[in-house]
Amino acid sequence: FAATYLLVSGIQNNVEYKQVGKDEVKVTATITEIVEHEGYDYVDYETHSHEMHEAGSDGKGRIMTWSHDKIVQDIETSRSYLKGGTSVFCYPFGHWNQNAMDALKDCGIKLAFTTQGGRVKKGASKLELPRVRISKNKGINYFKDCVN
């Protein structure tokens, strides 16, 4: 069993530092540092896009207005940072359309998550999966209730 971390690889390439007392502390890591971390065996890294996690010309995620080829290029760029490629995707801002799903299929993406709440039911579209949100502020009993 491994946890899944969905990376926006374009954002993860920007390293930030924060002043903590007299020390300057690194608060984000580069994508290379993340995927080469020794805990890689316990975490599956999948793509959340490279540069699509920004608003497009219509105010929604760029995936809604980009061409099929540009979506494919973005996903392939993101995947190039991850060991062994990826087969899972999470739509930026939860936005998707048929063009996006077609591009994902052409990239070999097998599963894609939306921001729609709920459990996956038998027969659900594998490229339009809902999800159960579990934040760090919830306790173990909440987690158990969500996954049981």
pLDDT digit string, tens, across residues 24-67: 554 455 656 666 654 556 677 777 787 888 887 788 889 999 99
- Give SS3 for 88: strand
pLDDT tens-digit readout, 97-118: 999 999 999 999 999 999 898 8
Selection from 83, 97, 73 nearest residue 36 by Cα:
83
Residues in Cβ contact with 113 at an 8 Å cutoff, skipping those fewer than 6 apart: 6, 88, 89, 90, 91, 129, 130, 131
Task: Give the pLDDT mean for 61-90.
Answer: 86
- Give SS3 for 50: coil
Answering whether pTM is above 0.95, one says no
Q: Average per-residue pLDDT in the chain? A: 79
Contact between 25 and 17 under an 8 Å Cβ cutoff? The reply is yes
